[in-house]
């Protein structure tokens, strides 16, 4: 595999999760050193990545800016530079119609998915401005494009990520920093897919059945390719956006959705 990222350091938030780990692996295989950030689950990712590249793990709650700032300072101290950021930490939250959606859960999802993403974006972009350049990829979602049923908090947070990406791209372009986002659709198999199918079945709506097996079929039926995407189909898109192959791309949102 080409070593497009030799000598570069990428921060990956949500590094303990499936998308974070898979993407970190791809970047590591292409030569990048990795700084993993998450609130938990970093042991597995650390163990797998240290077989490929230099990797450090940092426990951090992205919803708390002092923790984010201190963690980014630690990364800079340990590696000396930050060239790339995969701003990926997030949670799905509850599944319920908006008139009964849990208020506390809405705040929690927004605090992690949107405010947390802003915290990381702010802290890392400040480092990149001082360095004279960098590349950032934010994780949005097709939920931030289509308006998902029973997912008011998640959908709102991901709509906002797309908008924040476009603003950040304009704000940071003068400093040689590119900012883009990806919008995965239904991804599986695994925890995220199973959880979404189960909770949509339980939520009750005219859009999905109460039987989780039927819900899975209904969700697949919404995808033009008639299948869910695999986690392994995400890293290549992120790697492209991080690379010089997309050196003229900024402010775009690439949909990984199996169709239009």
Residue 217 maps to a domain: no
What mean pLDDT value characterizes the chain? 96
% residues pLDDT > 90 (the chain):
94
Q: pLDDT tens, 178-192? A: 999 999 999 999 888
Spatial separation of the C-alpha atoms in residues 97 and 152, rounded to whole Å? 8
Confirm whether 154 is a catalytic residue: yes
**pLDDT band at 175; cut points 50, 70, 90:** very high
Please state the domain count of the chain: 1
Q: Which of 58, 154, 208, 228 is catalytic?
A: 154
Q: What average pLDDT does this structure show over 161-186?
A: 98
Residue 197 maps to a domain: no
Residue 196 maps to a domain: no
Residue 43 maps to a domain: yes
Beta carbons of 121 and 168 less than 8 angstroms apart: yes
**pLDDT band at 1; cut points 50, 70, 90:** confident
Spatial separation of the C-alpha atoms in residues 175 and 128, rounded to whole Å? 8
CATH at 44? 3.40.50.720
Residue 209 maps to a domain: no
Enter the pTM of the model: 0.96
Residue 3 maps to a domain: no
Q: What average pLDDT does this structure show over 68-85?
A: 98
Q: What average pLDDT does this structure show over 122-135?
A: 98
Written as six digits, the tokens of 118 are: 């802003």
Q: How many CA atoms lie within 13 A of 218 on its CB side?
A: 17
Query: Could you list the residue range(s) of the whole structural domain that residue 75 is in?
Result: 9-187+230-256
Q: Which pLDDT belongs to residue 260?
A: 58
Q: How far apart are the first and last CA of the chain?
A: 30
Residue 167 maps to a domain: yes
Residue 215 maps to a domain: no
Interacting residues of 162 by C-beta distance below 8 A, sequence separation 6+? 140, 144, 145, 181, 183, 253
Spatial separation of the C-alpha atoms in residues 245 and 74, rounded to whole Å? 30
Closest by CA to 260, choosing from 216, 225, 221, is: 225
């Amino acid at each position: 595999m080409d070593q497009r990222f030799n000598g570069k350091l990428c921060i990956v938030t949500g590094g303990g999760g499936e998308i974070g780990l898979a993407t970190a692996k791809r970047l590591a295989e292409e030569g990048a050193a990795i700084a993993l950030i998450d609130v938990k689950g970093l042991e597995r990712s650390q163990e797998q990545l240290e077989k490929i590249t230099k990797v450090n793990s940092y426990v951090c709650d992205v919803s708390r800016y002092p923790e984010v700032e201190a963690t980014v300072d630690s990364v800079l101290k340990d590696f000396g530079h930050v060239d790339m950021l995969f701003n990926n930490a997030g949670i799905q939250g509850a599944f319920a119609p908006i008139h009964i959606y849990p208020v506390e859960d809405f705040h929690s999802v927004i605090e992690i998915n949107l405010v947390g993403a802003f915290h990381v974006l702010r802290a890392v972009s400040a480092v990149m401005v001082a360095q004279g350049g960098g590349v950032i990829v934010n994780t949005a979602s097709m939920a931030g494009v289509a308006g998902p049923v029973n997912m008011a908090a998640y959908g709102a947070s991901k709509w906002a990520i797309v908008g924040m990406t476009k603003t950040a791209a304009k704000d940071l372009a003068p400093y040689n920093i590119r900012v883009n986002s990806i919008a995965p659709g239904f991804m599986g198999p695994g925890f995220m897919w199973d959880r979404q199918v189960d909770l949509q079945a339980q939520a009750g709506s005219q859009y999905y059945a109460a039987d989780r097996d039927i819900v899975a079929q209904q969700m697949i039926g919404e995808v033009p390719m008639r299948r869910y995407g695999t986690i392994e189909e995400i890293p290549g898109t992120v790697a492209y956006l991080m690379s010089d192959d997309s050196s003229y791309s900024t402010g775009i949102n690439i949909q990984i959705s199996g169709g239009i």
